[in-house]
Chains A and B, each alone.
Chain A
Amino acid sequence: MVAGAPVRLARVSHRFELHGQPLPVLDAIDLAAEPGEFIALLGPSGCGKSTLLRLIAGLEQPSAGRILMRGQPIEAPDPSRILVFQDPTLFPWRTVRQNVALGLETRGVARTESARVDAVLRQVGLDGFDNAYPRQLSGGMAQRAALARALVNEPCVLLMDEPLANLDGLTRIGMQSELTALWQRRRFTAFMVTHDVEEALFMAGRVLVLSQRPARILAEIAVDLPYPRHRGSPGFAALRERVMEELGLLAQW
C-alpha cells in the first residue's frame, strides 16, 4: 500500500487570460500538506478552488510560485495524483470495469493487475456492476465508479473537486462516511473542494477558508474531532459557527 505524499505550495499565484485581460485567480497561496492529511478547501463559488486542484494535478502550470510533491516540482499529470470531478465523467463507451481499469491500461498493466480492479470495485460497493455501462448507473453509483477509477492507481494524493455535490442529500451523507472510511484505510493525502461547511468538518482534518477571487487563504481551522464524527456533537457545532464566521455568513445563518 502506498501511503500519502507531502505536498507543498510556495507562493503559488495563477491568472487566466479573459478577452485579452489578465484575470488573477490565485494570490500567493502558501500551503503544506502532511502525508496522509485530509484538507478541505472552502470558499465562495468561482474563487479559484478548482484551479488550485488542477495545478496540483499538473494539468496546468502556475503563473508564479512552486508546487512540490515529496520535494519534487510537479510538471505534468501523473497517476500518483488523481483528480475526481464533480461530474463523474465516466467514458460512456466503456463498461464500469473498463473505466476503472483505464489508469492501469495507460501503463500497460491492465491484464496483470486485473485483481486490483476487482478489489477496488468491491471496496466502493460496485461488485457485480463490472459490465454495466455508465448510462445504466445512478448518480451515486457513477460517482463511486469514478472514485474506484482513481483509487485503483493507489494515488498518494487524491484531489476531489466537489465530489459529492451532484448527489441527493441521503446518498451524499452515506458517501461522506464511506469516503472518510476509505481515506482512513488508505491514508492518501486528500484535498477536497466543497461548498458544504458540514461536509468539510465531517471529513477533513483541516479546513482552509478561501477569499473571493483572487483567492487567498483567509483562515485555517484544525478539526481535531475523533472519527467517526457526529454532526450533532457540541464540538462540531462550535467549529461550524467558527467557519461560518470566517465566511462572513454568521449573521445570515
Chain B
Amino acid sequence: MSDLARSADTTADEASDSIAQVPRRRLWRCGLAASVAWVAVAALCRYWPDQGEVGSTALLSSGLVVIAVALLAATAASVRIELPRLRRAGPWLVALPVLLGVWELVSAKLNLLPRPFFAAPQSLLEVYTDDWARLAESTLHSVMLLATGYIVGATLGFLTGLAIGWSRTIGYWVHPVLRFVGPLPATAWLPLAFFVLPSSWTAGVFLIALATGFPVTVLTWSGVASVNAAYYDVARTLGASQRFLIMKIAIPAAMPSVFVGLFMGLGASFAVLVVAEMMGVKAGLGWYLSWAQGWAAYANMYAALIVMALMCSGLITLLFRLRDRLLSWQRGLLRW
C-alpha cells in the first residue's frame, strides 16, 4: 500500500475529525482548551491564599501544571499522530479542572463547607504522599481477601449450578437447601462466622464466598437448564459423550448467563468485603475507613474511598474484559 493510500485509510476511520486525503490532521482544539483550564486551576491553587492549613497546596498546583503541559504536548502532537482515545476524552478533560476549581474554591479558598467533614483537594493529596504505605498495604489486604473469597465462591457456585442444572438427583437434594439458605444476606452470618471460624481472615473468605456463590449458582443453573435441547440432539447424533455434552455444549451455552452471575456476585462481594473488614478483619480498606473515622481523619476517609472506587471499578472492568474475550461470538454486548 502506498503512503497516500495508507493515510487515506486511517483517516477514513475518523471522518469526523479529519478530512480524507489530507496528511495533516486537524488540531485538537479541545486539548488546547483543556490545558488552559488545568493551568487556570493550578494558578487558582497557587495564588489565591488558603484559609488556614489545608495540605500540600504547592505540590497540588505543580501537579496540575504537569498535567497542563502534558495536554499541551499532546495538542501539539495531534496534527502529526492519531489520538482517538484522548480526543474522545476531550470534554471530560475540560470539565474535570472546572469541577476541581469549584471544589478548591468552596473548600480551601472560601471555607464554605464545614472544615473537618469536607476536605480540600490538597488535603487528600497530602494523605496520599504521607500515608501511602498504609493505604497500599490496606489495598493489598482487601484485594487478597476479596480475590480468595471471590474465586472460592465463584468456583463452588459454578460447580453447584452446573450439577443442579445437569443432574435431576442432585437438583432434588440441593435445590431446597439453596432456596432456603441462598437468599439470606451473607452479612447475617457475620457474628457466627467470626465466632466459629479459626481466624477473622477465614471468616472473611467464607462470607465473601457465600455472597458470591449464591448468584453464580443460580445463574449457572438457569443457564444450563435453559440450553436449547436441540443442541444436545445434534451433538448426540454427532457422537458426543456425556462428558462432551457437559464440557463443549452445556458450559459454553450457559456462559452468557454465568457471566451475569459472576457480575452480580462481584457486586455482592464488595459489600461484604467492606462490612467484614469494618467488623472483624483488622486490615484492608474497610478497616482503614473505620480507623480514619475513629481519628476524625476525614481526608484519609475520602482518600481511601477513592482508592476503593478505583479497585472495585478496576475489578469490574477486568471481568467485563474477560467476558468480551470469551463471549466475542455474541452480538451487542454492553460496553462497560
Verify if A102 is at the interface (C-beta below 8 Å from B): yes
Interface residue count for B (Cβ, 8 Å)? Answer: 22
Contact A102 B331, beta carbon cutoff 8 Å: no
Contact B329 A103, beta carbon cutoff 8 Å: no
A5–B233 Cα gap in the complex (Å)? 22
- Report the minimum CB–CB distance from B335 to chain A (whole Å): 18
B residues less than 8 Å from A102 (CB atoms): 235, 238, 240, 248
Contact B239 A78, beta carbon cutoff 8 Å: yes
Verify if B189 is at the interface (C-beta below 8 Å from A): no
Interface flags for B310-331 (1: CB within 8 Å of A; 0: not) read: 0000000000000000010111
A78–B244 Cα gap in the complex (Å)? 14
Interface flags for B247-273 (1: CB within 8 Å of A; 0: not) read: 011001101000000000000000000
A135–B330 Cα gap in the complex (Å)? 8
- Report the minimum CB–CB distance from A78 to chain B (whole Å): 7
Q: Which residue of B lies closest to A155 (CB)?
A: B237
Contact A93 B252, beta carbon cutoff 8 Å: yes
Verify if A143 is at the interface (C-beta below 8 Å from B): no
A residues less than 8 Å from B244 (CB atoms): 105-106
Interface flags for A78-91 (1: CB within 8 Å of B; 0: not) read: 11011101010101
Contact B238 A89, beta carbon cutoff 8 Å: no
A168–B138 Cα gap in the complex (Å)? 64
Verify if B51 is at the interface (C-beta below 8 Å from A): no
A58–B236 Cα gap in the complex (Å)? 9
- A106-B241 CB under 8 A given contacts A91-B231, A91-B249: yes
Contact B236 A89, beta carbon cutoff 8 Å: no
A77–B237 Cα gap in the complex (Å)? 5
B residues less than 8 Å from A89 (CB atoms): 228, 230-231, 233-234
- Report the minimum CB–CB distance from A111 to chain B (whole Å): 15
- A59-B249 CB under 8 A given contacts A106-B244, A135-B329: no
Verify if A187 is at the interface (C-beta below 8 Å from B): no
- A79-B331 CB under 8 A given contacts A59-B233, A93-B252: no
A residues less than 8 Å from B234 (CB atoms): 83, 85, 89, 91, 149
A82–B231 Cα gap in the complex (Å)? 14
Which residues A59-107 have CB closer than 8 A to chain B? 59, 77-79, 81-83, 85, 87, 89, 91-94, 102-103, 105-107
Contact of A107 among B236, B239, B253, B330 (CB under 8 A): B239
- Report the minimum CB–CB distance from A129 to chain B (whole Å): 14
Contact A106 B237, beta carbon cutoff 8 Å: no
Q: Which residue of B lies closest to A79 (CB)?
A: B239
A135–B331 Cα gap in the complex (Å)? 8
Verify if A211 is at the interface (C-beta below 8 Å from B): no
- Report the minimum CB–CB distance from A86 to chain B (whole Å): 10
Interface residue count for A (Cβ, 8 Å)? Answer: 26
A85–B235 Cα gap in the complex (Å)? 12
- Report the minimum CB–CB distance from A104 to chain B (whole Å): 9
B residues less than 8 Å from A94 (CB atoms): 252, 329
Contact B329 A93, beta carbon cutoff 8 Å: yes
Q: Which residue of A lies closest to B230 (CB)?
A: A89
A residues less than 8 Å from B330 (CB atoms): 92
- Report the minimum CB–CB distance from B252 to chain A (whole Å): 5
Q: Which residue of B lies closest to A87 (CB)?
A: B230
B residues less than 8 Å from A54 (CB atoms): 233
B residues less than 8 Å from A85 (CB atoms): 230, 233-234
- A59-B237 CB under 8 A given contacts A93-B253, A106-B244, A135-B329: yes
Residue with the greatest number of chain A CB neighbours at <10 A, chosen from B234, B239, B252, B329? B234
A153–B228 Cα gap in the complex (Å)? 23
Contact of A59 among B236, B252, B255, B329 (CB under 8 A): B236
A residues less than 8 Å from B238 (CB atoms): 79, 82, 102-103, 106, 149, 153
A216–B178 Cα gap in the complex (Å)? 49
A135–B332 Cα gap in the complex (Å)? 12
Contact of A106 among B240, B327, B329, B331 (CB under 8 A): B240
A residues less than 8 Å from B239 (CB atoms): 77-79, 103, 106-107, 153
A94–B248 Cα gap in the complex (Å)? 10
B residues less than 8 Å from A93 (CB atoms): 252-253, 255, 327, 329
| Chain A to chain B: the 7 pairs with minimum beta-carbon distance, closest first | A103-B238, A106-B239, A79-B239, A93-B252, A77-B236, A77-B237, A89-B230
Which residue numbers of A lie inside 8 Å of B, CB to CB? 54, 57-59, 77-79, 81-83, 85, 87, 89, 91-94, 102-103, 105-107, 133, 135, 149, 153
Question: A77-B236, A102-B248 are known contacts; what are 5 more A-B pairs with Cβ within 8 Å?
Answer: A58-B237, A92-B329, A93-B252, A106-B235, A135-B329
18 contacts between A and B (CB under 8 A): A77-B236, A79-B239, A81-B237, A83-B234, A85-B230, A85-B234, A87-B230, A89-B231, A89-B233, A91-B252, A93-B252, A103-B239, A105-B244, A105-B248, A106-B235, A107-B239, A133-B329, A149-B234
